[in-house]
């Protein structure tokens, strides 16, 4: 049966989006399905008419599939989106417009490629996608989505941050100083933890593990080197201190006469050629999503669990995580995943002499 499939990327940027789009295009062509892209995420879906593009080789070259960003774009500032609609008290009307746009497009299925915020919204406002199959693919450099061992973009972000830290370690050695590098990751410490272990950082500070600044200073002073890397998650906090986490740690080191500099890799972590592991993951998730459509599944998310590609329901995804209030949309909860106390990398870091903190939350 010939189907019409829509693809939409939403939320923050990460590498691997173009790869999974390309794999979905390939799979749809094999099945002789029609496929269109929604441009600018829900921003484009809200437009009248919705902003769409036919996904053919003329508009999407295979050679570009490894590049960062999304050929469909994820949206832009200054337009009506979930946050703007909630702020203006027009969320109900916004949702109805999205639902009407999807109906007018006459889609059989929508593949939504998004992070935990986007997937939480898809679960909460599921009526938007009534009348068609909804299959979600998890992508985020934060690795904060429940029920999947991997998310598209995470491995590439770890690679980017690791390379950045390695280059700074050369400068650190030349100038006999410490570099405090602030990693992204929002409320989850996975990116800082993985990149910190990858480069052999001297200390890794993440929000899931309580740490003592005095013990950190003591650890650095006892180091056999007078230079190194301290990897800091952007979500850590220090009681009685304010400002960026890296700056707070830097001030504590300076007060102890430890030469140091702060460094912020910022959006570099969202860029870079998609790593082989992320490309493989994109292929697996695309294949799983298309099979879910063939099997008439809906309201599901693709997942990788213990080496097996599968689908899980959006309700299971949402209920499995720790729910927190969305800071921008009143009344909406987001389902989050964090570094677990028994994460093997925490023990490995401790065994290898990396300061990780004292108490796992």
Residues noted as catalytic? 142
Q: Using an 8 Å Cβ cutoff, are 101 and 49 in contact?
A: yes
Burial of 50 (0-12, 13-18, 19+ CB in 10 A): buried
Dist. CA 164–CA 264, nearest whole Å: 10
Helix-helix angle 213-221:245-255, to 10 degrees: 60
Helices (H), the chain: 17-30, 41-46, 82-87, 91-105, 116-124, 154-175, 190-199, 213-221, 245-255, 276-294, 314-320, 344-351
Candidates 260, 292, 280; CA nearest to 175 is 260
**How many other C-beta atoms are found inside a 10 Å radius of the C-beta of residue 84?**
18
In angstroms, the Cα distances linking 278 to 125, 159, 164, 270 are: 29, 11, 19, 13
As a dihedral over the C-alpha atoms of residue 311, residue 313, residue 319, residue 322, rounded to 10 degrees, the angle is: 40
């Amino acid at each position: 049966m010939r189907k019409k499939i829509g693809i939409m990327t939403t939320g923050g940027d990460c590498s691997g989006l173009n790869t999974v789009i390309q794999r979905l295009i390939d799979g749809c062509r094999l099945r002789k399905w029609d496929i269109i892209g929604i441009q600018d995420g829900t921003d484009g879906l809200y437009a009248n008419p919705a902003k769409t593009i036919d996904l053919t080789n003329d508009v999407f070259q295979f050679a570009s599939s490894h590049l960062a960003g999304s050929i469909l774009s994820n949206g832009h500032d200054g337009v009506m989106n979930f946050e703007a609609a909630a702020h203006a008290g027009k969320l109900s009307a916004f949702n109805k417009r999205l639902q009407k746009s999807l109906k007018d497009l006459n889609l059989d299925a929508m593949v939504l490629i998004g992070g935990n915020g986007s997937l939480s919204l898809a679960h909460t406002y599921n009526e938007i996608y009534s009348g068609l199959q909804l299959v979600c693919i998890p992508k985020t450099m934060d690795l904060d989505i429940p029920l999947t061992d991997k998310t598209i973009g995470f491995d590439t972000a770890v690679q980017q941050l690791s390379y950045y830290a390695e280059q700074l370690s050369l400068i650190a050695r030349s100038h006999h100083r410490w570099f405090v590098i602030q990693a992204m990751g929002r409320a989850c410490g996975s990116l800082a933890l993985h990149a910190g272990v990858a480069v052999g950082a001297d200390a890794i500070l993440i929000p899931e593990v309580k740490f003592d600044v005095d013990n950190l200073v003591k650890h650095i002073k006892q180091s056999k080197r007078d230079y190194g890397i301290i990897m800091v998650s952007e979500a850590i906090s220090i009681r009685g201190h304010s400002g960026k986490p890296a700056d707070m740690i830097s001030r504590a080191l300076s007060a102890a006469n430890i030469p140091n500099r702060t460094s912020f890799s910022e959006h570099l972590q969202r860029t870079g050629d998609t790593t082989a592991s992320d490309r493989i993951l994109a292929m697996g998730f695309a294949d799983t999503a298309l099979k879910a459509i063939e099997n008439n599944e809906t309201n599901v998310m693709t997942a990788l669990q213990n080496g097996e590609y599968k689908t899980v329901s959006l309700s299971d995804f949402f209920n499995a995580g720790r729910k927190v209030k969305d800071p921008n949309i009143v009344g909406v909860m987001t389902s989050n995943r964090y570094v677990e106390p028994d994460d093997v990398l925490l023990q490995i870091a401790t065994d290898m002499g990396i300061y990780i903190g004292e108490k796992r939350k």
